[in-house]
Amino acid sequence: MMSEYKNADDYQIDGTHYKDMSIDPWEVQELVLTREEFIGGLKSQIIKYAMRQGKKEGADHDAEKAKHYARKLREFLANEK
């Protein structure tokens, strides 16, 4: 699913609640947080979703969410160069 999109900002896992907003929350985070805080926030989400994968009842998209945050982190770091 993710490979069909140009970058992490183009899609959302499990719904459209963030994409329906006029600005995506991680765009706001990138604007108001320091570089280190933003990177730490992305890493924190990767850890959270990776650790709870398979433990949530119902539709479990946590593995995809962890990959999505990892992709955003890779793209952010690559764009710095």
pLDDT level of residue 58 (50, 70, 90 thresholds): low
CA distance 14 to 31: 25
Mean pLDDT of 25-50: 96
At residue 28, the pLDDT reads 95
33 occurs within a structural domain: yes
Q: Say which residues have a Cβ less than 8 Å from residue 53's Cβ, sequence separation at least 6.
A: 60, 62, 63, 66
Residue 49 structural domain: 22-80
6 occurs within a structural domain: no
Domain count for the chain, please give it: 1
12 occurs within a structural domain: no
52 occurs within a structural domain: yes
13 occurs within a structural domain: no
Would the pLDDT of 59 be above 70? no
* Spatial CA neighbour of 77 closest among 38, 32, 47: 38
